[in-house]
Amino acid sequence: MNAIVETDWLREHILDENVRVIDCRFSLGSPGEGRERYNESHIPGAVFFDLEKDLSGYARKHGGRHPLPNMKNFLRKVEDAGIDNQTTIVIYDEKEMAFAGRCWWLFHYIGHENVYILNGGYSAWTQDDGNTESSVPVYPPKSYRPSLNEDIIASLEEVRCIANGERETPLIDSRSKERFLGLEEPIDRIAGHIPGAINLPWTEGVKEGYFIDQEEQNERFSALNKDDPIIVYCGSGVTATPNFIALKKAGFINVKLYVGSYSDWVSYENHKVDRE
C-alpha cells in the first residue's frame, strides 16, 4: 500500500482540481494551537481538520480520550471541504505523522482509497521552499457516499480475548517503552500496558518527521507474520496510526486499530494491566 507522497509530488499536483489538501496540525498540550498555525499560514488550498473537533467524538466514561467522531458530522465536514469519492486527498501535520495519520485512517474507515500523508509534513514543505498562504479557501460542497470499513477496527471484546489469553493475535502497544513498562504515565490513571501486548513505539518508525525506509520498517516487524491479524493501540488511538500505516506499507493484510486504546482499557475497573 502506498500511503505516502513527497513534497515534489504535491508541488506538481497542488493545482489539480481533483486534489484536496488537509491541514491537521495540532498540539495535545494546547488544543487551539493547530488552528492558530493554520490561520497564520498553510499550504495553498488546504482546509483545516481539527483532531478533537473533527477527527474525534466527545470523550465519555468509556471509549477513550479520542473516540470516533459522529460519522454524520465527519461526513458533513468532508463534503463541506469539497471532497467526494473521486477526490485525491493529501494530509499533513507539522511533522509528527500522528495527527495526519488519524485523519488518513478515518478516510480509510469511510472507504476512501486515494488518500495520502505528506512525508515530512508542513516542515518539509516550507524547508523545500513551498508556497504558503493565510487565506481560508471555500469550496462548493460535494456529495460523499461512505462505505464503512469495519474490518480495520478492533473491538473491546477482541482485545479482552487477547488479554485473557483466549487469542494469540499480536497486540502492539505503540507508546514509549517507559509508558509500556509503567515507569511513567503522564495522562492515564493507571500505568502499564494491556496484558499480552508487545511494545513497538511508533516513534521508531518515524524519524525527524519522515517515515523510515521500507527495509527498516520490515526489520521492525520481522517477528510478525504478515498473514496474521494484528491489532495496534496507543494512549487514545492517535499515535498508533503511524504504526498502522507502516504495517500496511510493509504488506500486512489484516491490521486493526483499537480506537479507544489504553485510555479506554483502564476506564474499566475490572481490567488488569501489566508492568513488565
Q: Which residues contact 76 (CB under 8 A, 6 or more apart)?
A: none
Residue 236 CB: number of other CB atoms within 10 A?
A: 25
The catalytically annotated residue of 24, 103, 161, 234 is 234
Q: How far, in Å, CA of 271 to CA of 274, rounded? A: 10
Q: How far, in Å, CA of 136 to CA of 124, rounded? A: 21
Burial of 41 (0-12, 13-18, 19+ CB in 10 A): middle
- What 3-state class would DSSP assign to 71? helix
Name the residue type at position 111: G
Nearest to 91 by CA among 248, 242, 256, 251: 242
Active site residue 103: no
Nearest to 42 by CA among 25, 18, 54, 30: 25
Q: Which residues are catalytic?
A: 234
